[in-house]
A and B are shown apart, each in its own frame.
Chain A
Amino acid sequence: MVSKKIRKILYRLAESLLAVGIGFLGGAFLMLLYGYDPITAYRALLTGAFGDISGIYETLSFATPLILTALTFGICVRSGLFNIGAEGQMYMGAIGAVMIGGAMSLPAGIHAATATLFAMLLGGLWSIPVSILKITRNVHEVVSTIMLNWISFWLVTYLITYQLTDPMRAERAVPAQETARYTVIGASLTTIFPVVIAFTLLIYFIVWRTTLGYELRLVGYNPEAARYAGISIPRAVVMSFLLGGLAAGLAGASQVLGRPPSWTVYATLGNLVNLGFEGIGVSLIGRNHPIGIIFAAIFYGGILHGGRFMEFEAGVASELVRAINGIIIVALAIPELLSMVSGVVKRRRGKEVEAG
């Protein structure tokens, strides 16, 4: 039944739009509370993000890491896990990209590819302790991933400060060499964007079109049935954390090898911090589906980029965008939000009809 499927997709879309609407209303309320003008602010945000071609390039550039950190969360949700370790795995990926892309010399062509793969490998490796703790000791992944995020933060800042420091500028790691950089398309968008899209489609294929993916999703949907069907639950757990880790590692690489003008990470990790957490919201807005995630990331990348214009033109701190993201996540946690709202609307209409 095609029409049923389309209806389902439209319903999901409506839910996401409602949650986004609630997020923006919440943001507007916070602005009014402190005397800012939400209309000016939101207009600046939207025209900044989508108004011209360089704005769109920037938006896509902001979306690139978010697609991947959202995938980290989204893949694991499909197998019933709450992986919020994208943040730390992304730091590991970024430092991996610096190790190969910045500190080593390789011929052009294979340099970027090696650096990218090594970054993904480190991201994937950083997910292994989470799986082990989950499988052998039943440690909840939310707490273990958060702790590993902090450990990774201090490990990576240590490496930047003591081992991989840029000899020219002590506050950052050695930038990726020319041979390791992806080609700039326009503004700060590079050819890593199509790579990321291809990776996302690959993940879609793995999770929806292979036996492995079927097993992952069945474990998330009904662990009892999965066990009865002879599916190894530990294997599913390891695989989904691992796929998530690879995605997060690539996110780290994208900020080093595919993001002008710095092509590196700073000792404060200022250009990475929070990209992992924002992925959670992006994944939920995209209904934890790779295709949905691409669109959600472009939307959210847009408001992140547009947030800077909001700051210039309305004086509103651009971090408000992050608060809006949080409100959207909370709204999406409520499963029957749309039916509740439409129920209220219907009752209202019913009354109007009676009164009329």
Chain B
Amino acid sequence: MRVWKRLLWALLGIAALAMVSYELSQAGVRPVKLVETGLLAMTPLALAAVGECINEKAGVINIGIEGIFLITAVVGVYWAEVFNSGLIGILMGGVFGGLIGAVLGVLSTYGKADQIIAGMGLNVMSLGLVQYLLMAIWAFPGIHIFPRELVVPRLSLPFTELRISPFTLIAVAAAVLATLMLGRTLLGLRIRAAGDKPEAVDVAGINVNHVRILASALGGFLAGVGGAFMPLGWFGGLVKEISAGRGFIALAAVVFAGLNPLLALIASFIFGYAEGVAFTIVVTPGVKEVIPFHFIQMIPYLLTIIILAIFVTFRRFPNALGKPYIRE
């Protein structure tokens, strides 16, 4: 499916969200608040989705984004407390995410690992690891609250009432840079070729495995920034199920985008905004009495399924996606 068609669908989605926002504003919710929440919820999704676009272009599926989110959320908070700086925490989250991405890259190239199983292993591991680390580091089960000052402050956008996180801007920049990198640079060409026609990369004298590991590390880095952003840029606390399936929602955004980073950004905004709307409805008087919040909580997940059902059949993914490159 052409990019403009996906864009059209995205605009339809945004129009629908605008209508819901209008209804909510009639009920007394400030639209600025909705957009702010939406942008916060977009940020981790967009970072991870842009990263996943890069590593899937190179032929490596990382289904373990959820696991990277969980682990880097803990790692990020730990280092933020050590250095007393939320920024350093998020950066360390990125570094750890990059390391995990690189390990997955090595396993799925030199190790010829089944990428889906390895990714699920990472997810299962993170479920236990997060709880273990919470006990081992802070000796308290399931939850950790850190000093409010560690949360990276939001910036006021000039001429508006909006206050947005610098990491939202970084996510947007990452999407633009990734598009340029993939489309206009030699490295981008090699990444795309490693996913689509690895033989060509090999014949050109470049190690396919190295390109893939690099792309996987890059994808892991961005997911790691997103994971550490959740406690340090958004929630201001750490709970054991902090990512709540967002890693998989990011994967869905990637499918919607057909591996185009800019479309992945837009899809993340739609998912994030829907989540923000769900959050807001839950606390809006007059609504919460009518619909139990359990049903509102389902919205992002239902939306993901619907979007996948519409878009997945039109995808054209790289030929060698998910397959280790074996020289003949």
Contact = CB atoms under 8 A, between A and B. Distances in A.
B43 interface: no
Contact of A147 (B63, B301, B312): B301
B120 A84 contact: yes
Interface stretch (A116-124, A173-181, A316-324): A316-324
B131 A322 contact: yes
Given A158-B294, A329-B120, A277 B312 contact: no
Interface string B100-124: 0000000100011111111011111
Interface stretch (A3-11, A52-60, A254-262, A278-286): A278-286
Residue with the greatest number of chain A CB neighbours at <10 A, chosen from B63, B121, B131, B255: B121
A135 B243 CA distance: 29
Interface in A110-148: 129, 133, 137-140, 142-144, 146-148
B135 interface: yes
Interface in B200-242: none
A142 B64 CA distance: 11
B132 A317 contact: yes
Interface stretch (A98-106, A188-196, A216-224, A331-339): A331-339
Contact of A144 (B116, B292, B295, B305): B305
Interface in A323-347: 323-337
B136 interface: yes
Nearest to A77: B117
A139 B252 CA distance: 10
Contacts of A278: 124
B135 A335 contact: no
B185 interface: no
Interface stretch (A42-50, A149-157, A201-209): A149-157
Given A143-B255, A317-B131, A333 B124 contact: no
Nearest to B292: A158
Interface string A157-190: 1100110000000000000000000000000000
B137 interface: yes
A82 B126 CA distance: 19
A143 B251 contact: yes
Contact of B248 (A147, A161, A328, A334): A147
Contacts of B121: 281, 326-333
Contact of A150 (B127, B129, B298, B308): B298
Interface in B63-94: 63, 67
Nearest to A36: B136
A140 B120 CA distance: 14
A154 B124 contact: no
A228 interface: no
B25 interface: no
Nearest to A324: B128
Contacts of B297: 154
A334 B111 contact: yes
B20 interface: no
Nearest to B135: A317
Contacts of B137: 34
B302 A151 contact: yes
A87 B81 CA distance: 35
A72 to B, nearest CB: 13
A40 interface: no
A210 interface: no
B31 interface: no
- Interface residue tally on B, bucketed by range: 35 or more
Nearest to B309: A137
A336 B112 contact: yes
B132 A333 contact: no
B26 interface: no
Contacts of B123: 277, 326
B160 interface: no
Interface residues of A, number: 54
Contact of B128 (A138, A146, A148, A321): A321
B118 A333 contact: yes
Contacts of A328: 121
Nearest to A130: B305
Given A143-B248, A333-B114, A137 B295 contact: no
B5 to A, nearest CB: 17
A316 B255 CA distance: 40
Nearest to B240: A319
Contact of A143 (B122, B129, B304): B304
A8 to B, nearest CB: 19
Contacts of B255: 140, 143
B1 interface: no
Contacts of B125: 322-323, 325-327, 329-330
B44 to A, nearest CB: 16
A232 interface: no
B153 to A, nearest CB: 31
Contacts of A147: 245, 248, 252, 301-302, 304-305
A30 B308 contact: no
Given A82-B120, A329-B120, A322 B128 contact: yes
Interface string B129-149: 101101111000100000000
A271 interface: no
A13 B210 CA distance: 33
Given A330-B118, A333-B107, A133 B305 contact: yes
Given A137-B313, A139-B305, A154-B298, A332 B124 contact: no
B117 A151 contact: no
B107 A274 contact: no
Given A329-B120, A332-B117, A150 B245 contact: yes
Given A146-B248, A329-B118, 9 more contacts: A139-B309, A150-B298, A278-B124, A321-B128, A322-B125, A322-B131, A326-B129, A329-B124, A334-B118
Across the A-B interface, give the 7 residue pairs with the lowest CB-CB distance, nearest first.
A326-B125, A322-B128, A329-B121, A319-B131, A330-B121, A158-B294, A317-B135
